[in-house]
Structure 1
Amino acid sequence: MVVIRLSRGGSKGAPFYNIVVSDSRNRRDGRFIERLGFYNPVGKEGAENFRVASDRLTHWVGKGAQMSDTVARLVKVSAKAAAAAPAAA
C-alpha cells in the first residue's frame, strides 16, 4: 500500500519533517517515491512552517494513497487557515 506520511529529519530537540509518498513496507526515514512538502513544528514565528504541493497530494490520493492521521490533520488545518486568510485581508 502507498502511504503519505512524515519522514523525520533535523537534529535532537529540533525536529523537521518531510511529507513523503512511500510504500508502507519501507522504514519511516527510508526510501520514498516522492517528496510533497515539509513541516517544521519548531519554526520561528512568521516563517513558513508548513508547505505541501496540493496538486501532487490530490494526484496521489486519487491513485489510492492513504494519508497518515498526522498528515491529514496538517492538511486540514492549513486548508482552514488558507480559507480564513483572504477573509481577514
Structure 2
Amino acid sequence: MSNIDFSSLTIEEIDAALEELPKLRKIKVEARRAELLEELQRLGGLPKRMPVRMPPKFRDDKGNTWTGQGTTPIWIRELEEAGGSREQYRIKKKD
C-alpha cells in the first residue's frame, strides 16, 4: 500500500474523500468478485454444497431422535396413534 500524506488535506477535502471511498471500494470489490468467479468457472466451478446436519428436536426414552423435518418416524407415529403427543419428547432448549 502506498503512503498517502493526508495531513496536507483540508477538512472539506477529507470529507469529500470519505464520501467517495465507499463507492470506489464497492466498485473494486465487485470487479474482484467477477474475476474470482471467472477463475472458479475456468477451474471447474464451485464444489457441491454439503448437506447441513440439523440438530434433533425430539428424543424418546430409547434414544431415538427426529429433527422434525421429513417423514415422521415410526416411533412418533405409533405414539400419536396411541393418543400421545410428540411434544412430550420435544428436546428442551437450554437457556
Give the helix-richer structure, 1 or 2: 2
Give the strand-richer structure, 1 or 2: 1
Q: Structure 1-normalised TM-score?
A: 0.24
Q: Identify the structure with bigger relative contact order (alpha carbons < 8 Å, sequence gap 6+).
A: 1
Report which of the two structures shows the higher radius of gyration computed on alpha carbons: 2
Q: Structure 2-normalised TM-score?
A: 0.23
